[in-house]
Amino acid sequence: MNKISYPLDILQHTSWSGIFRHFFWYGCWATFKNVNKKARRRNKKIQPNAKQLKILYSNANGITGKITSLTTAMKEQETSIALIAETKLESEPPKIDEYKWMPRNRNVRKGGGVAIIYHESLTNNIKPLENIEKENMEIQWAEIKSGTQKTFIGIYYGNQEKAPAEEVQSDFDAIKSQINTLKQEGDVILVGDFNAKLKINIPSKNINQAQSRNGEMLQSVLEEAESIALNTKENICEWTRENRKKPDEKSIIDYVIVSRKTEAKIKDTKVDIAGTHRLKGKEETDHNTILLETNMSLKTNHTLRKVWKKGKPQDWANFNNDIEKTIKEDKPKNFDELEELITKKLKKHIGQITIKNNRKRESKKAKEIREKKKEAAKQYKEACETKPNNIEEIKNHYIDMQKKLREQLENDEIENRKNTANRLIKKGASIPTYSGK
């Protein structure tokens, strides 16, 4: 098998992006950064650090084709936890660099499903809650612990308005019971698409929503669980669902529900009506992303992970020969089989080492844009309070900085893949490609 060159445009090929996602993002890049002894000694000196809890929520309407969009949004926001409704997963979730999944797939019919996605630095702090969810209810709870402090975070996807009333009421009774139980032990945050319209009237924002049948049931939950839907407050409230094909079709059915005790710990809540962080694939979701920034601080430990070794020239030669021989004898039928083959041969000939898993460094340009975005956010927050004449200009500048940071992170990721592949090829690797779609 001949070595291949690595022009930038090849990065857009499906097979390359898949290979790099599973093998290089997770392993080789970190290996070449940390394989020398000095780097590993520096890692050993790193102590547990404080991490502010940041949450991103979206109804994805199918997450598989929107992973790139989600990944960029999480990195741009430095997200601790992403809460996703309507994942529509039928098997294992796709991998996301530096993040782990806690999915709950729908098992009775297609569609639906929810998931909690958390940064791997929280691995020792987070765990799924057992024996609290009602059977066949699309809700997933997780407990986050930092010292003696407990925070319970949940994601819910509710029944449609046309569903039988007894099914909807059963779900809401369960939610009321869950919130009342959990708030006795810690803070409670439940986010999701409740498919329920609460009565909301905010003339200053041209928002006037009548209460629906499901909304009436949800309102009872809020009252009896002594909780609040944060994003219905006047200074936060925006439409959460907007039909992209019918702009006049708008509603507020996604909510951030917190216990009264927890409300004071939510530093900021934003509904992304500008669409900067909206999940997109071939089509974009009708639901606007909701971003939460809390005052909760978590002491996290740097986790360990396995990465590919540097490999000697003979090791890479053996890897190349074995790959070529295997493909000649039994050519992979699809891309998944090719990925499995590469993993197997890398383990056999190159091997792995365990390193401390630190967040990858951003490029200098990305850091500069992030600082400008923070300053723009501060200016916009102040403008929302003082209402200057140029508030729209300040708002648009803030949105523009978010977009610029998102674009820079995407460009950095492409450049990282290119550099990683060039290192591997220089060391002696021949990377097979898969020509199938």
The model's pLDDT over 63-93, given as tens digits with 9 standing for 90+, comes to 988 998 899 899 888 899 999 999 999 888 9
Residue 70 has phi, psi (to 5 degrees) of: -65, -45
Name the more confident of 432 and 156: 156
pLDDT at 36 (0 to 100): 47
pLDDT at 213 (0 to 100): 97
Question: Is pLDDT above 50 for 384?
Answer: yes
Six token digits for residue 221: 């939950």
Question: Is pLDDT above 80 for 434?
Answer: no
CATH number of residue 213's parent domain: 3.60.10.10
In the three-class reduction of DSSP (H, G, I as helix; E, B as strand; rest coil), residue 387 is classed as coil
In the three-class reduction of DSSP (H, G, I as helix; E, B as strand; rest coil), residue 287 is classed as strand
Question: Is pLDDT above 60 for 43?
Answer: no
Q: Which domain holds residue 263?
A: 49-300
Same domain, 114 and 134: yes
Q: Compute the distance between CA of residue 229 and CA of residue 307 in angstroms, rounded to an integer.
A: 43
Which of 300, 322, 338 delimits the end of a domain? 300
Query: Which residue has 């844009």 as its token pair?
Result: 369
Can you give the pTM of this predicted structure? 0.68
Same domain, 110 and 183: yes
pLDDT digits (tens, 9 = 90+) for 271-328: 998 888 899 888 899 999 999 999 887 766 555 667 778 888 888 888 888 888 888 8
Strands 227-229, 303-308: pairing is unpaired
Helices (H), 53-145: 67-77
Same domain, 347 and 374: yes
Which of 300, 332, 363 delimits the end of a domain? 300
Same domain, 358 and 249: no
Name the more confident of 310 and 208: 208
Which of 247, 277, 300 delimits the end of a domain? 300
Name the domain count of the chain.
Answer: 2
- Of all residues in the chain, what percent carry a pLDDT higher than 70? 81
Mean pLDDT for 199-224 is 96
Residue 67's Cβ-count burial label (10 Å; 0-12, 13-18, 19+) is: middle
Same domain, 166 and 281: yes
Same domain, 407 and 279: no
pLDDT at 107 (0 to 100): 78
Same domain, 173 and 42: no
* Numbers of helices and strands, H then E, in the chain: 11, 18
Residue 35 has phi, psi (to 5 degrees) of: -75, -25
Winning range, highest mean pLDDT, from 5-19, 226-240, 308-322, 388-402 = 226-240
Question: Is pLDDT above 70 for 357?
Answer: no
pLDDT at 21 (0 to 100): 44
- Of all residues in the chain, what percent carry a pLDDT higher than 90? 41
pLDDT at 374 (0 to 100): 82
Of 248-257, 285-294, 399-408, the range with the lowest mean pLDDT is: 399-408
- In sequence order, the 6+-apart residues with CB closer than 8 A to the CB of 252 are 197, 198, 200, 207, 209, 231, 232, 237, 238, 239, 240, 241
Same domain, 154 and 96: yes
Strands 241-242, 266-271: pairing is unpaired
Mean pLDDT of the residues in the chain: 82
Same domain, 332 and 276: no
Q: Compute the distance between CA of residue 65 and CA of residue 87 in angstroms, rounded to an integer.
A: 10
Name the more confident of 290 and 409: 290
Same domain, 163 and 185: yes
Same domain, 95 and 209: yes
Same domain, 316 and 415: yes
Winning range, highest mean pLDDT, from 1-15, 160-174, 292-306, 373-387 = 160-174
pLDDT digits (tens, 9 = 90+) for 179-193: 999 999 999 999 999
- In sequence order, the 6+-apart residues with CB closer than 8 A to the CB of 288 are 238, 239, 240, 241, 242, 254, 271, 272, 273, 275, 278
Winning range, highest mean pLDDT, from 44-48, 251-255, 267-271, 383-387 = 251-255
pLDDT digits (tens, 9 = 90+) for 109-154: 788 899 999 998 899 899 999 877 777 899 999 999 988 889 999 9
